[in-house]
Each structure stands twice: as C-alpha cells, then as structure tokens.
Structure 1
Amino acid sequence: MALSAVAVKNAKPAEKSYKLSDGGGLFLLISPAGHRYWRMAYRFDGKQKTLAFGVYPEVSLADARERRDEARRLLAKGTDPAQQARLDKIAASIAAACTFGAVADEWLEKAAKDGISEVTLKKNRWLINQIRPSLAKRPIADIAAPELLLALRKIEAKGRYDTAQRLRGTCGQIFRYAIATSRAERDVSADLRGALVLHKVTHRAAVLKPDAVGALLRAVETFDGHVLTRTALRLLPHVFVRPGELRFAEWSEFDFDAAVWTIPAHKTKMRKIHSVPLSRQAIAIIESLETDVEFSPYLFPSLRSGTRPMSENTINAALRRLGYAKDEMTGHGFRAMASTLLNEMGQWNPDAIERQLAHAEGNAVRRAYTRGEYWDERVRMMQHWSDYLDQLRDGAKILHPAFRRGKQTSR
C-alpha cells in the first residue's frame, strides 16, 4: 500500500528502527531517535542493494518518488543507480572545480607558490573580488566574451575605467591558466581588446627640471627626521629603483667589491633578476648607515623591528615633510627624473636606460633584439649620473647639449 504525506509526517519512532513501504522498492526508515530516511531497495547483477535518497522533510514524499522512478529507469537500461549516483557526485565535484571562482583561487594559490610578492597578490585578489559576484559560480568554459564584457562594464559604470582595464588583463591570465589545466579552450578576454573605455594615464609626480632637482637634493640633505629615512632619501636618486625594491633591500644582495646590487627576481616587478651598478656616491651613502646585517637583514629596517623593512609610506611622508606635495614628487618620481634627464643628455643608448630602469619592452620584435644587458655602458652611466646629481646639488652651472644648433649652451 502506498504511503500518504500525512502518514509520513505522523510516523513516530519506536524502540527499534522500522520501515514504511511505498512500493517500487521505496521505503521510509524511521530510527529510534525519530530521524526519517528515504531508501530504495533493489537488485542489480544478482545482488541486493540499497539506495539513499535523503532525509525527510528536506526530501518530500513526492521528491523521493521522483528519485525512485529515475532509479528504476536506470535499472531498465542496465545501469546501477548507486554507481550512477557516485559518478554524478564526481561530475558535480569536477564542475565545481571548473568554475571561474575556483580556477581564479587556484591561479592565485599557484602565483603565491611561484613567489609573487604579497603586495601583488593582494592587488590581484582585490581585482578578482570585483568580478566574483558576476562570474564566480559560472563554469569557466561556458563564459563567452559578451558575458565577460558585461561584467567589466558594471565596473566601468562606476567610473573605474582603469580597474576594468587591469581586470581584463587579470582575467586573461586566469583563462590562460584554465586552458593549460584543460578547463577551458580559449581566452575570451582577448576578444575584448578595444571594447573598454581607455583610461588616461596619469604619470607619477616627479621633479624633472635640473635646477629643481638640485633644490630637491639640497632639501634632502637638510631632512631632520630619522637618519635611516634621510639615508634612504639620499640613496634613492642614485639607484632610482622602485621604492619597494629599496625598502626590501638586504645586505646579502650587495657586492661592494664588485660595486653591484643584485635584486632577486621575486622582489622585482618583472620577476627577473635586476642588477644595479653602484656608483662611488651610492656606496658611500650605504657605508654611512649605522645599522648592519647583525642588527637587521634589511638596509632600511622598520623603526619598530629589525625583522621588518621600512614602511611603504616612509619615503613619501618624508617628501611631504620636506614640503613636496603628492602632485609634485613621490618616491617613484626619482625613476621618472632619471629617465627624463638621462635621455635628455643624448649620450646614452635609450635601451641601456630602459634596462637600468628594469622596464619590459612591449614590442616583441624589438625585445628580441634588445636582450643585451648593456652592462659596461650602464656602469659608466650610473657613475656619470651620480656625478651629475652632485653637481646639481652643489649648484654648479650645468651644460646641456643644444641638439638643433649643434653646440652647448648653459642654463
């Protein structure tokens, strides 16, 4: 006799587990604790088996009957419903691992193991979180270019054009990782080139005129804050590395006999080893430090602990203290300063300057022809640059080439 919804609802526990049959192998198992489980008894390949359908009331009588009927259809086709349930569970697990969100998390985990800096990881996590509400649960192989574009335009609608552009690039890396791990066939972000609003690049604030550079260098010499901060400010113009690379500089990276600072790949933006020729002035500034490797592995440790580097805000805060507003000069601005003035000198190979700045050549063909390190030229250039900075700081009259007239004039 078939069960009724009322009979199922009113089933009471007994001293021992008992069954209420519904027909077709389906029955309700009531435990002494009062739990009610849907089960189906069947035979397959000559063996008696039991299939679980869930717990009442989460699974209703009608739901249990539907699952029983589906199991009987599988049996009619010669398929074991229990085995099929296991396969379906595996397929669901695989599908869950193939969503955009799951692949993005796996890509971030791999990036961390590859040694990407925590700052970069934090930025990537933040970017991906902007698009999670739209794509996280979608199978990555099913995402088409229009769907990705719609998600990115939601970000554009908030006026965050640069974020949308950067996120498209990050999504491209995730799609390419999915391709490499056999969970997608193509990078649909590539189809969106030119589809997003171009963000006008705002160049970092920097002092670029020789007389203004001299004034800045003289101001640095008068800085009355902590001596470590003043030394970092004095060194940065001579090496013009990224501020983060200076903050994390360790004594073990310096070979003072060879006059070179070798920055490990995991500390650089391009994830390539970067060597900085040290001028006589740079070495003298480093040697003036009152700390050493016994105090801290870092040249510029935190004032609170020798186990941590200087705060990322220290350099910019010092520049503000010297009277330079954030739209006038930043720690990163020393790189623009060096790039501008070295190129204006007209005596250094632009590729050598770019290599010293650790920039990546965007043109693949040109990159193939500029793999040389230009090391000897960079050594001469860095010493010349430090000598030039000293002249500017000391207020000497600097001669500049007048390329159009073919002679030198003074400023």
Structure 2
Amino acid sequence: MALSEIQIKKAKATDRPYKLADGEGLYLLVQRNGSKLWRLKYRFRGKEKLLSFGPYPDIGIAAARELKKLAKATLVEGRDPMVHKPGRDFEDEKTFRAVAAMWHQNRECSLDPAHAKRVWSRLERDVLPQLGDLMMHEITPPEVLKVIRKIEERGALDISRRAKQGIGQVFQFAIASGMCDTDPTAHLRGALKPRPRVQHMSKLPLSELPELQIKIDRYQEEGDRRSEITRAALKFALLTWVRTKELRFATKSEFEGLDSKNPVWRIAADRMKMRREHIVPLSSQAAALIRDMMSKADGDYVFPGQKPRQPISENTMIYGLYRLGYHGRQTVHGFRGLASTWANEQLVEVGQPPIWMRRYNADWVEMQLAHSEENEVRGAYNAAEYLAPRRSMLQDWADFLDLQRGDLGNLAVLRAA
C-alpha cells in the first residue's frame, strides 16, 4: 500500500532504523535520529543497487514518486539511474571522466608530451571504461579496487599502481576544486598485490672484473671480424653502462665530437626504455673504440651483424659471455650493476674534521643508467643533465678498468717469469 502524508508525519524514531514502503522499490528510511530519507531499491545488470533521492520533507511524496518514474524510465533505456540520476543538474555535478579531463588538461603543459600522452592512454584503457560515467562522490573504495584487480589479473602490477596513483590524483584535484570531499584510493593501502621480488641480473663481484676483461680481450670465435665486433661490443657496454638494445642499434650518425674533448653518443627517445633522449658522455677509451669500429663498418650500424645492413643479434654479446664461461654468473645487463656498485662505493675524504662522502652523486649514477623516473612535477626532461660530472665519472671508470686489466696482465707476466 502506498504511503500517505499522515503516515510519514506520524513515523517516530526507534532504537533501530526502519523502512516504510511506498511500492515498486521506493521506501522511506526512518533513522534513529528521526531523519527520514527517500530510497529506491532496483536491479541493474543483475546487481541490486540503492538510489538516494534526498530527505523528507525537502522531497515530498509526489516528488519522490516522480523521481522513481524517471529512474524506472532510465532503466528501460538500458542506463543506470545511479549514474544518470533523475533530477540532477549535470552542470553542477561531474563524472570521473569529465574531472579527469580537467585534471589532465591542468597539468599537461608541465609534462613531456610523450609522457602526458601515456598517462591519458592508461586512464582511457584501464580506468575510464569502469569509472568514467560515475559521479565523483559516488565512487567507493571497492569500485576503485575492482579496477585495480582487473589490471592485476593480467600481471601488470606496475600499471595497477600507476592506475591507483592516477585515480588518486584526479580525486585530489576534485577535492581541491570542491567537486567531492574524499579520495577513495586513500583506503586501499595494503589492498594491492605486492610487486614480485626483483630478479637482479647476474653480475660478478668487482674483484673478478680484471679476469673478465682479460678474457674479453682474448675472445675468439669463428671468423676474426665477428670476434672483433663481439669483443668491441662487450667492451663498449662495459664502458658506457647502456642496455643491450641501445648498443645494438647504435648508428654512426648518433656519435658527435669523437675527435673533440667532449665526445657524446646521443640516443633517440624511441630507442630508450623511458622514451626519452639519452646523452652518453664518452670516455677517451670509448671514443677511440667507436672511431675504430666506425672506420671498419660498411653500413650505418657501428656494430654490424652477419646479415647485410643489420646490427648484431640480440644474443651475440650474451652468447659471447657464455663462451667465456660466465653462463649464470655474468650478463651484459649485469655490467650496469658492476658499474653502479663501483660508483656507489667510491668515497672521498673532505673537511676538517675529515668526513667521508660519496665521490659520485647518486643522481649522476641513476641518470647515466637512464633510470630517471617519470617525474610528475618537473617540466621538460633535460637529456644533458649532469653531463659534465657524468663525463668525469665515466672517465674515472674507464681508467679504473684499464688499471685493473693492466694489474692482472702484469701479474700474469710475473708469474710466467
């Protein structure tokens, strides 16, 4: 039976909230504090949901029934009345999609264009399909977690964290803009799947580096030219701390000032893991090696492969290390770990009373390794950042390698004598 005004007015608060049904899912919820709230229970796509129309007497019986009719009509159209709420002023209330677009537009000018595009693409792919049409104040922590879980199911744990971060930033923007009051991502701490333990690439202790260098110097395989290219590629990787892919596709046009005091290797953004141009300052040893390889290379690739106009294969260097007896002990990528360990262990004594400090700033090491994280605040990325100190660091590293190689060679001569 439908409710009457008299029934509603006479309804008193009790120890527990209770409902007064009006029909077709519409009811009045009487709270313990005496407040009376209109609710509509309905099902959408098999899921039971609850819609709030507001308090009585602000919303009278007639108004509540009219809102119910509008909600039912929305359901007939195949739309969720919780998203397309009847009686709502869409100019005043914003969907997550609309607010996310405003957030992104507000910060886009401070980001690298390629990074800005990636951020929005991730939202479009993983977040907006589920949250885009919901109102900001209607999004709950479980709904955000559902988005995160879907990403985790495909094993993309890094992307799931970026998605949570992006959603949270949209909500922080909305809170600051007065569009909502809370950030549901704040309640998800501890709910995300932990990242798997990092599997570090195999690398030797620094004490075994001299022997490795001597073996590389003596590396031989079928065909003298192939041996020379593999040897040179391994040495260059050790000197410059770059990844295998970055080295394999090195072309002559990427090297600048090889005969000057400040030679560099400029790697285009599309070949870098972080999708940013990377400038590698070259030590005198690295520059000499590249000049020699460029003088012998027929095509554009500095380290050519067996096929005409192709670079060395992705397995050339690692198989070279296998032949030298380093299977499971040292990888090409592990050269980066060797260099990083060396750089981070170098200390200098400064001041009075003397204290020990790092010789090389951690930022120089990370920049040389091209580990620089995507920065949400900084503006344009500067590929030449820390170029001078990085040049000095790499020259020290190259001189250290020469010294290590020389010491072991001299020791071998003494033992033979």
TM-score in terms of structure 2 length: 0.51
Q: Does the C-alpha gap of structure 1 residues 346 and 262 become closer, same or farther in structure 2, counting only changes over 3 Å? A: same
Question: 2:254 is matched by which residue type in structure 1?
Answer: E
Once the two structures are superposed, the pairs formed by residues 93-132 of structure 1 within 5 Å of their partners are none
Structure 1 residues 89-168: aligned runs within 5 Å: 138=130, 140-142=132-134, 145-150=141-146, 152-153=148-149, 160=155, 163-168=156-161
* Aligned equivalent of 1:395, options 391, 396, 407: 407
1:169 aligns with 2:162: yes
Contact between 1:251 and 1:293, CA under 8 Å: does it hold in 2? no
Q: Which residue of 2 aligns with 1:338?
A: 339
Counterpart of 1:164 in structure 2: which amino acid?
A: L
Deviations 1:38-80 (CA, angstroms, capped at 9, x unpaired): xxxxxxxxxxxxxxxxxxxxxxxxxxxxxxxxxxxxxxxxxxx
Question: What is the Cα deviation at residue 193 of structure 1?
Answer: 5.1
Task: Output one character per residue of 1:164-221: Cα deviation in whole Å (capped at 9) or x when no partner.
Answer: 34344267669989xx9xxxx9997786454213224324224352221112222222
Distance 2:403 2:195 in 1: 39
Is 1:204–1:330's contact at 8 Å kept on the other side of the alignment?
no
Q: 2:194 aligns with which of 172, 189, 198?
A: 198
Partner of 2:208: helix, strand, or coil? helix
1:300 is matched with which residue?
A: 303
Give the conservation status (yes or no) of the 8 Å contact 2:151–2:160: no
* Structure 2 equivalent of residue 349 of structure 1: 360
For residues 291-330 of structure 1, what are the alpha-carbon distances to aligned partners after superposition, in whole Å with 9 as ceiling and x for unaligned?
Answer: 667512x222342241x4333333323322322234x322
Indicate conservation of the 8 Å contact 1:261/1:277, yes or no: yes
User: SS at 1:289's partner residue?
Assistant: helix
Q: Secondary structure at the match of 1:229?
A: helix
Percent identity between the two aligned chains: 35
Shift of residue 340, structure 1, vs aligned partner: 0.7
- For the pair 1:243 / 2:244, whether they are aligned, the reply is yes
| 1:209 aligned onto 2:202 | no
**2:387 aligned residue:** 375
Task: State whether residues 277 and 382 of structure 1, in contact with CA within 8 Å, keep that contact through their aligned partners in structure 2.
Answer: yes
CA deviation profile, 1:3-58 (whole Å, cap 9, x unmatched): xxxxxxxxxxxxxxxxxxxxxxxxxxxxxxxxxxxxxxxxxxxxxxxxxxxxxxxx
Matches within 5 A, 1:68-83: none
* Larger displacement relative to structure 2 (312-321 or 147-156): 147-156
CA contact (8 A) 1:204 1:332 kept: no
2: CA distance, partners of 1:278 / 1:262: 10
**SS of residue paired to 1:202:** coil
Identify which of 317, 320, 323 aligns with 2:319.
317
Q: 1:149 to 1:290 in 2, by over 3 A?
A: same
The count of residues paired between Structure 1 and Structure 2 equals 273
Residues 46-85 of structure 1: pairs in structure 2 closer than 5 A? none
Give the aligned residue type for 2:194: L
Q: CA deviation at 1:365?
A: 9.3
| Contact 2:282/2:394 (8 A) holds in 1 | yes
The answer to whether the Cα contact below 8 Å between 1:207 and 1:213 also exists between their aligned partners in 2 is no
On the 8 A contact 1:99/1:138 being kept in 2, the answer is: no
CA contact (8 A) 1:153 1:164 kept: no
Please, which runs of 5 or more residues in structure 1 have no aligned partner?
1-97, 104-113, 398-411
- 367, 386, 393: which is aligned to 2:398? 386
Q: Are the aligned partners of 1:172 and 1:188 in contact in 2 as well (CA < 8 Å)?
A: no
2:224 matched to 1:223?
no
Letter in 2 for 1:359: H
Q: Distance in 1 between matches of 2:394 and 2:281?
A: 7
Answer yes or no: is the 8 Å Cα contact 2:255–2:264 preserved in 1: yes
Between the aligned partners of 1:310 and 1:192, the Cα distance in structure 2 is 47
CA distance in 2, matches of 1:217, 1:392: 8
Judged with a 3 Å threshold, the aligned counterparts in structure 2 of structure 1 residues 208 and 157 are, in CA distance, closer, same or farther, namely same
Aligned-pair Cα RMSD in Å: 4.9
Separation (CA, whole Å) in 1 of partners of 2:361 and 2:399: 20
TM-score normalized by structure 1? Answer: 0.52
Q: Equivalents in 2 of 1:320, 1:247: separation in Å?
A: 18
TM-fit CA distance, 1:239: 0.5
2:286 to 282, 296, 318: 282
Structure 1 residues 189 and 166: alpha-carbon distance in aligned structure 2, compared to 1, 3 A threshold: farther
